């Protein structure tokens, strides 16, 4: 695997996102202190609505990147040009589809919000969010080349640095005018700027994009693409229902105040996900390249190593999130944004489950195994919605998060590894699950010991955060290392890290 490129991607992504989220965090804090909680809830609700609308993208993006792995490795410019031209047409249809459906939903906004407050300009706010989403689809087809070519650091650098500038402008607007409308209007020019600059950079990196040639895909290639798009659409349905309907349900059953509380947790979770999932996302093209040039057994060995690393990483992140998030929210935004501890625990568990699925998902997608579990996301979505809706009526916000937990455990957590092992590695999952049981046991011990170590401390909030942060940094990592340092996966993981650092 191209370890040097992976670590270059990961390093640049982490640095730029750290800067980006630091400014974004300040911007959100200013937003909370300059407008009412309902406006904060609006930002989360509309983001979820647009995520659902983005289902009309059908999964073209992932399929496009997968289709580009081989022609990039073979330097087949005609095939790459044919693919980008094909997806250019597809994304234009997607943009018009999202825009049209989104506009039709405008009159129904008051029915989505429980006890809808009288917020002047609510429909205009929504249309600004919609326009901001639609713009990107006219440019994104070229940017997919960066991801397929393991140059994700380029897109992240542009997006995140421009986002930093945008957030700074929004902070000035909020402080000087307290205008939520102007705050949203700033989104459009900066989104357009980042997309135009990235398109020009893609033209420079890949000059064939400006060619007058118009190669086309043959019917067999289009058939294969549409087959994978159909499968990936199902996966997008599952992912969207899992990750992007919580605020819709919270808004419908509990109102915008509860949405604004959820968004406080989501801001921190999205920061974690952004760092980790973006870094792991840069693995996909490396895994695809590795799988194409190595045997199944070698690919399986790489999987075991990275899966072990993923468990360790998400054990540490989950322990840290669970123990630090409430003191952090109290310090920065106030107690009115807090959820009870049992709700925070359930959010943390859901984050952990999503996290430990990432490596199997990365291998499954990189190996082109999109069609084999095409019905799983639909079943997962149905389970999630039914349980969330039923439980929300009796348990409130806890019931909504419980629906997410049950749907993942009953479907994705075991179906995805089965597909990877049965169709990809062509071996039993027995050894995989035995190791998983051991990892879960070690992870549970790590998190429980970390929590016990924090109990004796009743300190001022800033001191408490520092002490808990030190405990979270030391205890779960020490426990995981203590249980695992003799395993082959432990040594292979650190060999990969050492080699990458040397390069």
Domain shared by 202 and 319, yes or no: no
Are 17 and 159 part of one and the same domain? yes
Do 336 and 217 lie in one domain? The reply is no
Domain match, 204 and 74 both: yes
Quote the pLDDT of residue 256: 74
Residue 260 located in a structural domain: no
Statement to judge: residues 338 and 469 lie in one domain: yes
pLDDT at res. 12: 67
Predicted local distance difference test score (pLDDT) of residue 484: 87
Q: What is the pLDDT of residue 220?
A: 77
Closest among 215, 210, 84 to 145, alpha carbons compared: 84
SS3 (DSSP) at 179: coil
User: Token digits for 74?
Assistant: 């073979």
Query: How open is the CA angle 444-243-273, to the nearest 5 degrees?
Result: 60
Structure token digits, residue 83: 């693919």
Q: Give residue 259's pLDDT.
A: 79
Instruction: Write down the pLDDT at residue 232.
Output: 65
The answer to whether position 446 is within a domain reads yes
- Kindly state whether residues 324 and 438 are assigned to the same domain: yes
DSSP-based three-state secondary structure for 61: helix
One domain for residues 121 and 205: yes
Looking at 206, 221, 236, which one is the last position of a domain?
221
- Residues of the domain holding 473: 294-503
User: Domain check: are 308 and 215 in the same one?
Assistant: no
Total domains, the chain: 2
Q: What is the per-residue pLDDT for 318?
A: 93
Does 101 reside within a domain?
yes
180 belongs to a structural domain: yes
pLDDT on residue 348: 94
> Quick check: 266 and 259 in contact, CB under 8 A?
no
Q: Show which of 221, 247, 263 is a domain's final residue.
A: 221
End residue of a domain, out of 221, 255, 274: 221
Residue 269 lies in a domain: no
- What pLDDT score was predicted for residue 335? 86
The reply to whether 241 falls in a domain is no
Is residue 461 within 8 A of residue 324, CB to CB? The reply is: no
Judge whether 231 lies within some domain. Answer: no
Report the C-alpha dihedral over residues 372, 374, 375, 379, rounded to 10 degrees: 120
At 212 the pLDDT is: 76
Residue 322 has a pLDDT of: 94
Q: Do 301 and 433 share a domain, yes or no? A: yes
Q: Which long-range contacts (CB under 8 A, 24 or more apart) does 294-301 make?
A: 296/424, 296/425, 296/426, 299/363, 299/367, 299/424, 299/425, 300/425, 300/427, 301/492
Both 92 and 210 in one domain: the answer is: yes
Q: Are residues 193 and 65 located together in one domain of the fold?
A: yes
* In a shared domain, residues 339 and 425: yes
Residue 250 maps to a domain: no
pLDDT in tens, the chain (503 residues): 455 655 666 666 667 777 777 888 788 888 888 877 677 777 777 776 766 665 545 556 667 777 777 787 778 888 888 888 888 887 888 788 888 888 888 888 777 776 666 667 778 888 888 888 888 777 777 777 777 777 777 877 788 888 889 989 999 999 998 888 898 888 889 888 988 888 888 888 888 877 777 777 777 777 777 776 666 666 666 666 666 677 778 877 877 778 778 888 888 887 787 777 766 666 666 776 677 677 788 888 889 998 999 899 999 999 999 999 999 999 888 888 889 899 999 999 999 999 999 889 888 877 777 777 777 888 888 898 899 889 888 888 899 999 989 999 999 888 999 999 988 888 898 999 999 999 999 989 999 999 999 887 778 889 999 999 999 999 999 999 898 888 888 888 888 777 766 66
Q: CA 221: distance to chain centroid?
A: 29
């Amino acid at each position: 695997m191209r370890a040097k490129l992976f670590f270059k991607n990961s390093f640049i992504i982490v640095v730029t996102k750290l800067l980006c989220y630091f400014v974004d965090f300040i911007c959100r804090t200013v937003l909370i202190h300059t407008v009412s909680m309902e406006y904060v809830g609006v930002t989360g609700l509309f983001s979820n609505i647009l995520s659902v609308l983005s289902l009309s993208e059908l999964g073209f993006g992932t399929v496009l990147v997968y289709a580009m792995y081989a022609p990039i490795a073979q330097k087949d410019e005609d095939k790459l040009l044919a693919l980008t031209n094909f997806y250019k047409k597809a994304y234009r249809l997607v943009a018009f589809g999202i825009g049209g459906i989104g506009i039709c939903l405008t009159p129904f906004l008051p029915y989505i919000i429980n006890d809808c407050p009288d917020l002047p300009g609510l429909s205009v706010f929504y249309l600004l969010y919609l326009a901001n989403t639609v713009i990107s689809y006219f440019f994104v087809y070229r940017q997919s080349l960066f991801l397929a070519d393991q140059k994700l650091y380029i897109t992240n650098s542009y997006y995140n640095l421009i986002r930093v500038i945008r957030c700074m402008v929004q902070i000035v607007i909020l402080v000087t005018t307290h205008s939520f409308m102007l705050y949203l209007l700033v989104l459009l020019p900066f989104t357009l700027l980042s997309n135009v600059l990235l398109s020009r950079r893609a033209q420079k990196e890949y000059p064939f994009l400006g060619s007058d040639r118009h190669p086309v895909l043959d019917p067999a290639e289009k058939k294969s693409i549409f087959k994978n798009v159909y499968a990936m659409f199902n996966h997008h349905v599952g992912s969207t229902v899992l990750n992007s309907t919580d605020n819709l349900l919270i808004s419908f059953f509990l109102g915008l105040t509860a949405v604004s509380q959820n968004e406080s947790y989501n801001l921190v979770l999205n920061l974690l996900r952004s760092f980790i999932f973006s870094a792991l996302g840069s693995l996909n093209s490396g895994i695809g390249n590795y799988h194409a040039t190595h045997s199944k057994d070698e690919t399986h060995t790489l999987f075991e190593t990275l899966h072990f690393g993923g468990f360790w990483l998400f054990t540490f992140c989950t322990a840290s999130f669970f123990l630090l998030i409430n003191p952090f929210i109290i310090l920065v935004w106030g107690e009115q944004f807090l959820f009870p501890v049992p709700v925070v625990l359930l959010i943390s568990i859901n984050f952990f489950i999503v996290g430990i699925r990432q490596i199997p998902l990365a291998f499954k997608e990189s190996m082109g195994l999109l069609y084999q579990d095409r019905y799983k996301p639909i079943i997962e979505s149905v389970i999630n919605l039914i349980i969330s809706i039923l439980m929300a009526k009796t348990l409130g916000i806890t019931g909504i998060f419980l629906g997410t937990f049950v749907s993942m455990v009953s479907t994705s957590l075991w179906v995805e590894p089965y597909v990877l092992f049965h169709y990809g590695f062509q071996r039993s999952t027995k050894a995989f699950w035995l190791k998983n049981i051991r990892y879960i046991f070690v992870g549970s011990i790590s998190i429980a010991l970390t929590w016990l170590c924090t109990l004796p401390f009743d300190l001022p909030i800033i001191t408490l955060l520092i002490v808990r942060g030190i405990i979270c940094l030391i205890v779960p990592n020490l426990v995981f290392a203590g249980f695992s340092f003799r395993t082959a996966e432990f040594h292979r993981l650190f060999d990969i890290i050492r080699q990458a650092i040397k390069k």
